[in-house]
Amino acid sequence: MLNPYREDISKLRVTSPFGMRNVNANGVGDIHKGIDFVSDGDKTLVAIGDGGIITSTMVTDPNNSTSEWGNYVRLDLDSGWRVYYCHLRERLVTVGQRVRKGDVIGVEGSTGYSSGSHLHFEIRPAGASTEAVNAADFIGILNVIGNVTPIITEPPQDAEYEKFKRLMVHYLTETAADETVSEWAVDARKWAMDNGISDGTMPQRFIKREELWAMFERFEKILFKGGILIMNMIEQIENNFMYHAPKEGQPEIYQKIRDKAKEFAYLINELVPDSREKSLAMTKLEEVVMWANAGIARQ
């Protein structure tokens, strides 16, 4: 993922995701074209890639007070994408300056139309379009309120899981609120909230949010928990029937076990009369040696 802060992502929160917000009962709302972040630690902002500073300015209204994006910086990446860092307390770059990924841009603040210190982070394609892309997708995090969660792409089964989770979160965060929860959905609701998939509010859509919680919870249990169990079993079978070349020190240990077993075998041979039972005891003793050695080899 790309991080617009110098601070570790564990200290960052998304306070307003990209997309529709303030949706009323008629489905009317406005589009939040950026994503809002708050850092609970270092509030220094950094370039998410190499590029040039195109704008570094303070937006003011006719009364000369700070408005709109307030103190903001526009960084054009070498790839053409336009990156906006808005509401800054301080701008620490000048127009025309070249920056490398990780270089300081400014400091999170509350200038312009802002009710508290945060970064409005917006990404637009090359050109003059005022349309923005989903900045969360662009930098590789979940577009959801709460602690910043990177989209994990490894290992493969997690990538599928994260893709599904992202789709669900995307659906859930673009909907209006209704707090009623059916009795049958209480567990699923708790699970969805514990796993950071939903803040617990409910949409007014053709599929209820509680139905999605339940679907998702079952999906996770059946496909992923089940899938992982199957994966573990396959791994175990592979391990059981794999040839393990002896590692350093192991041949000596095998020999120690064989020597002790041989001693025991001679004792049995001497004390036990020839019989089916004696023969079985010898076979079992061989088995003991075999399992003990396998236990060492498969580690």
Question: Would you tell me which residues interact with Zn ion (CB under 5 A)?
Answer: 34, 36, 120
Residue 143 CA from chain centroid, whole number = 11
Q: 3-class SS at 263?
A: helix
Q: Beta strand pairing status for 98-99 and 82-86?
A: unpaired
Nearer to Zn ion by Cβ, of 31 and 215: the residue is: 31
Q: 3-class SS at 256?
A: helix
Nearer to Zn ion by Cβ, of 74 and 120: the residue is: 120
Nearer to Zn ion by Cβ, of 119 and 192: the residue is: 119
The Cα 158–Cα 55 span in angstroms is 40
The Cα 82–Cα 72 span in angstroms is 13
Nearer to Zn ion by Cβ, of 15 and 97: the residue is: 15
Q: From the CB of 23, what's the least distance to Zn ion, in Å?
A: 16
Q: 3-class SS at 185?
A: helix
The Cα 138–Cα 146 span in angstroms is 18
Q: From the CB of 140, what's the least distance to Zn ion, in Å?
A: 19
Q: From the CB of 36, what's the least distance to Zn ion, in Å?
A: 4
Q: From the CB of 55, what's the least distance to Zn ion, in Å?
A: 17
Nearer to Zn ion by Cβ, of 105 and 202: the residue is: 105
Name residue 71's beta-bridge partners.
58
Q: From the CB of 34, what's the least distance to Zn ion, in Å?
A: 5
